[in-house]
Amino acid sequence: MTSSKTVQTDIPRHEDIVDERLVRWFFYASLVYMGISMLGGLLMAAQLVHWYPIQNIEFLSAGRWRMIHTNAVAYGFIANAFLGMLHWVVPRLTLHRVASVWLSYFIFFAWQVIVLSTAGGIIFGPAFQSQDWVMEAARNLHISMNLGAQGLEWGETPFWIDPVALLGLALVAFNFLVPISKAKGSLYVTLWYFMAAFVWTFLTYAMGNFLPEYALAGSSAGAVGGLFIHDLVGLFVTPLGWGLMYYLVPIILKKPIWSHGLSLVGFWGLAFFYPLQGIHHFLYTPIPMFLQYGAVISTIAVEFVVATVVINFFGTIWGDSRMAFKNLPIRWFYTGIVYYFITCFQCALQVTLTFQKLIHFTDWVVGHAHLVMFGVFSQWIFGMMTYLIPRLLKKDWYSNRLCEWHYWCSAVGVFVMFLDLTLAGLFQGYYWAALQPWEVGLNGSQPFWITRIFAGLAMFFGFLCFVYNLVMTMRKGESNATATATA
Amino acid sequence: MESKLAKQIRIWITIVAGAFILIFSGLGFGAKFIELIHTFTGESDGVFAITPMVNYLLATMGFFCMLIWATLNGMFNDVEGPKQTMLERDEMLDAK
Ligand code: HEM
């Protein structure tokens, strides 16, 4: 272990290792995509209750907005926000700057081009599809030239962007693995999670976007698609999210994580058990039962792993629980942790074949998806921004009350949405199991879908409060920034 | 400062949780592995199972090597050390 004395002499200046401007840029970009995604979600929700406001414009049809909604969140909001955080956390943990700051700037612009081209492909791709020159090229090059969305859930990035995105991921991995490799002493758990995420995201993206497109067909492609969807959440978003939590919670609470040993148990458990469970999305499909049961078993193994992580975070805040009320970033984080526990508890039910019989293809799954993507990871990101923005701008928040509005609208809004869709899913499952006509299920879903719009509007309102607060904070005069926002 | 009892509780929870995960998951995975061999040799489905299995092995093999490398390099000799170092470094960075 490196002693604190040696550390003290080696310690660089924060300004020399962290490029704060880059962190800010990534945050701003991520917020733009979040706004677009929420708008897309609201439009899609409106379509389901026959209130779709943009009629008869093919480019802006609801189906395309749905894909914009999910892609803007995953690759626009979450990826940008995490990249911003990584530029803050990795140098501070390793005491080394990224491999190249120029590369970081290149990655910033390249990533925006990738996300925007994905949106362009989704919206305009199908219109180009039928052009003569495209058909001609497809014939000559013997490729599908499917310019619009790729037919793979979460992998809708059109096929021509995939190689560029993969290259982008390789550059990201290189840029951060260099400082991690220079870190002295035993690695802190956050860095283990980050290293894993860089390798996994690259592999997962390659597997999901290339194998079903070029090498596999039928249920084999379906099985890999299942792995891809789940691995994207579990091997890209989860390790980065937990890695950041393991860094930020101790920093803000000013006390170490309860058990570093337990956190390593959680990390290695995730490493070995997570990659097999994707097929649990496809229970009852033609995929051989052998693989379906395998996915069930590894999902149960991951449940144990998750329990260790949650125990560790509650062990850490033990004795300081009032911080969860007083300190807003900590409140965001622990709300997310509680929601995470709920989603994992849901998983324990969902993964049984008995339960799947009822909820498969219903809105239960959509409720689950919102709780995990918004309730957990987006709320963590908002907590990170609430904590870091005053430090980045060297100013206190313009309004702490608006920060509170953001928190309450988001935390309550998403929970209402989750409960509402969970119930909707159960109703739909029973309608279908009773072999009711399809319209009966649709009509029965309407009250739930209307409620979802209002929950979504609350979340959107909270988000607008945050953006307004940010703009006003940027515009207000200099003041002394406190390290922790609204502490 | 953590009391002796609290420290012991923490160590025991870590060991029990680790053992729990390893034993039960190990049994589950072991059984599935034997089943894989039977499926692979005896059923037409067997070949199909190869793609996800190879993906899994690719994804985890690297980590297995890394686990061994980290253990041999003494990364886990002082398991609780890094959590203190991390906090100290961060405070010093802010103090500079
Ligand atoms: C303004 C609030 C939001 C509304 C009204 C909304 C609405 C919707 C709708 C209508 C769908 C399509 C469901 C279907 O196909 O039946 C959807 C899907 C989805 N949304 Fe949202 N959404 C909102 C915010 C978010 C946010 C902020 C995230 C992530 C951070 C998110 C993540 C997802 C995911 C992952 C799916 C795919 C679910 C699946 O395929 O199972 N949504 N959303």
ipTM: 0.82
Report the pLDDT value the prediction gives residue B44, as an integer from 0 to 100.
60
CA–CA separation, A40 and A60 (whole Å): 10
Q: Which residues contact A311 (CB under 8 A, 6 or more apart)?
A: A262, B13, B17
* Residue to substitute in A42, A366, A376, A442 for testing ligand 1 pocket (most ligand atoms within 8 angstroms of CB): A366
Q: Which whole-number Å values give the CA distances from A51 to A338, A418, A453, B87, in the listed order? A: 34, 21, 11, 52
Residue in chain A nearest B64 by alpha carbon: A272
Spell out the domains of chain A, with CATH numbers in brackets. Answer: 1-185 (1.20.210.10)
Cβ-contact A176, A96 below 8 angstroms? no
Distance of CA A36 to the CA centre of its chain: 15
Identify the band that residue B47 occupies on the pLDDT scale cut at 50, 70 and 90. Answer: low
What is the reported pLDDT for B1?
A: 61
Which of B35, B49, B85 is opposite residue A185, by nearest beta carbon?
Answer: B85
Interface of B with A in 24-83 (CB under 8 A): 24-25, 28-29, 32, 35-36, 39, 45, 48-49, 51-52, 55-56, 58-60, 62-64, 66-67, 70, 74-83
Q: Are A260 and B19 in contact (CB under 8 A)?
A: no
Would you write out chain A's pLDDT as a tens digit for each of its 487 residues?
A: 344 444 556 789 999 999 999 999 999 999 999 999 999 999 999 999 999 988 888 888 898 999 999 999 999 999 999 999 999 999 999 999 999 999 999 999 999 999 999 999 888 887 777 778 877 877 787 666 677 778 788 888 888 889 999 999 999 999 999 999 999 889 999 999 999 999 889 988 888 888 887 777 777 777 778 778 888 888 899 999 999 999 999 999 999 999 999 999 999 888 887 777 777 887 887 777 777 887 888 788 788 888 899 999 999 999 999 999 999 999 999 999 999 999 998 988 888 888 989 999 999 999 999 999 999 999 999 999 999 999 999 999 999 999 999 999 999 999 999 999 999 999 999 999 999 999 999 999 999 999 999 999 999 999 999 999 999 999 987 655 544 444 4
Q: Using a CB-CB distance cutoff of 8 angstroms, which residues of chain A are in contact with residue B32?
A: 290, 293-294, 297
Main-chain dihedrals φ then ψ at residue A485, nearest 5 degrees: -70, 140
In this structure, of A238-242, A266-270, B50-54, B72-76, the range with the lowest mean pLDDT score is B50-54
Per-residue pLDDT, A479: 56
Q: Which pTM does this prediction carry?
A: 0.90
Tokens of B4: 């002796």
